[in-house]
Each structure stands twice: as structure tokens, then as C-alpha cells.
Amino acid sequence: MKPLETVLTEIEEQEQEVVYQPFRVTDLETAAEASRRIAYFDEKQKEIDSIIETQIAPFLAKIEKIKEWGVEAKKEFVEKQQFYSDQLEFYLREEVAKQVEAGKKPKKTISLPHGKISLKKQQPEFVKNDEELFSYAKSTGFIKVKESTDWVELKKKCSVYDGKLIDENGEVVPGVTVVERNEKFEIKLD
């Protein structure tokens, strides 16, 4: 019978001798196995995503409830703020009207301790009916025509040779460099 130390040493040596070969796709069977493994890992990721969604759902509901509470809690202050804003606007418009009546150039800005209030001239808003407007613009010459290369048709009429695009007459098409690319690898899981 061998001593325990010798047996343990032999086991360690055997374990060190085992060389694990990395997985390689070498034939149809190993390709099928690689595809199966990819599908398995994809399924595991989907399971984790499902767990994440399940775990997040109660928090999302709580967050939504808190947001709704915040909107409701601020409602009183928003309404009061709007009331005072309306009062300031009314006051400023009255002051401007008084200045105009007195024949003075109206001062449309008032500085206050917590900010400024002012009346600013705005550009008019244009509400357009696009069909009627386009019809008018077309009849009076107010339309734009944008010129651009018909790339699809051009490419159909040309061929690629030595990194260049060649037209039907055998001339190199200027402004185009053809860069060949390797096939794109794609995996579609069922």
C-alpha cells in the first residue's frame, strides 16, 4: 500500500497533466454545439432581464406614485405663483398704458428686489395650411428644389474595379473611393 503523501502527489501530477483544450468549431457538429450554447446563453440573459423587470416593477410603481404626489403637492403653489405673475403682468401693462397716455416713451421693464418684469416684443405666430400654401408658392415661384446625387441609379450603372467606381464609358467616377469589406458575421436565434 502506498503512503498517503505519494497518492496525493500522483493525483496532483495527473491534474496538472490534463490540458484543457479551448472549444473550437471544426465541423458541422461543433458548429451546432456552438449555436446551441449561444442560444442557451441568450436564454439565460433573457431570464435575468425578466428578473430585473420583476424586481424593478414595484419601485417604478412607487416612483410614479411619488411623482404624482409631487405634482399634487405643488399644485397649490403653482396656482398661487400664477396668480401673482398675472398680477405683475396686469400692473406692468397698466404702467405702460399710463406712460403712453402721458405722451412718454413707455418703460417696459421694472426692476424688483427679486427679479425683473418686462414686456418683450414677439414675432408673430404663423398658422399655416401646408397644402394651400404650397399651391400658392408653386404658382408664384416660391418653392425650393434641392438637387442631390441619385446614388442608387448611379451605382446600378457602374462597376467596381481596383478600389474605384467605373461608369459605363470606362471612366472613373470622381469623389468615390470603394473600400472592400469582409463579410459581416451574423447570428439569428430561433
Same domain assignment for residues 153 and 97: no
Residue 2 has pLDDT above 80, yes or no: no
Same domain assignment for residues 164 and 107: no
User: Binning pLDDT at 50, 70 and 90, where does residue 102 land?
Assistant: very high
C-alpha cell at 149: 446625387
Q: How many domains does the chain have?
A: 2
Residue span of the structural domain in which 169 resides = 149-178
Q: In the chain, pLDDT over 70 holds for what percent of residues? A: 94
Same domain assignment for residues 32 and 109: yes
Residue 173 lies in a domain: yes
Residue 141 lies in a domain: no
Question: What average pLDDT is seen over the chain?
Answer: 88
Same domain assignment for residues 33 and 111: yes
- 117 neighbors 92 (Cβ within 8 angstroms): yes
Name the DSSP class of 172.
Answer: B
Residue 42 lies in a domain: yes
Same domain assignment for residues 63 and 106: yes
Residue 165: Cβ within 10 Å count: 18
Same domain assignment for residues 40 and 89: yes
Query: What is the pLDDT averaged over residues 123-146?
Result: 88
- Fill in the amino acid letter for 113: P
Residue 16 has pLDDT above 70, yes or no: no
What sign results for the dihedral spanned by CA atoms 56, 62, 64, 70?
A: negative
Same domain assignment for residues 28 and 114: yes
- 47 neighbors 56 (Cβ within 8 angstroms): no
Same domain assignment for residues 29 and 104: yes
| Confidence at residue 123, expressed as pLDDT on a 0 to 100 scale | 85
Minimal CA–CA distance to 92: which of 130, 119, 73? Answer: 119
Parallel/antiparallel/unpaired status of strands 159-161 and 115-118: unpaired
Q: Which residues contact 154 (CB under 8 A, 6 or more apart)?
A: 173
Same domain assignment for residues 47 and 109: yes
| Confidence at residue 17, expressed as pLDDT on a 0 to 100 scale | 57
Residues 155/158/161/162 CA torsion (nearest 10 deg): -50
Same domain assignment for residues 105 and 153: no
- 164 neighbors 174 (Cβ within 8 angstroms): no
Residue 139 lies in a domain: no
Q: Please write the tens of the pLDDT for every residue from 18-60.
A: 556 788 989 999 899 889 999 999 999 999 999 999 999 999 9
| Confidence at residue 76, expressed as pLDDT on a 0 to 100 scale | 94
Residue 53 lies in a domain: yes
Residue 153 lies in a domain: yes
Same domain assignment for residues 173 and 106: no
Residue 13 lies in a domain: no
What sign results for the dihedral spanned by CA atoms 175, 177, 178, 181?
A: negative
Query: Alpha helices of the chain — where are they, by DSSP H?
Result: 4-17, 28-101, 130-140, 151-157
Same domain assignment for residues 80 and 37: yes
- Fill in the amino acid letter for 26: T
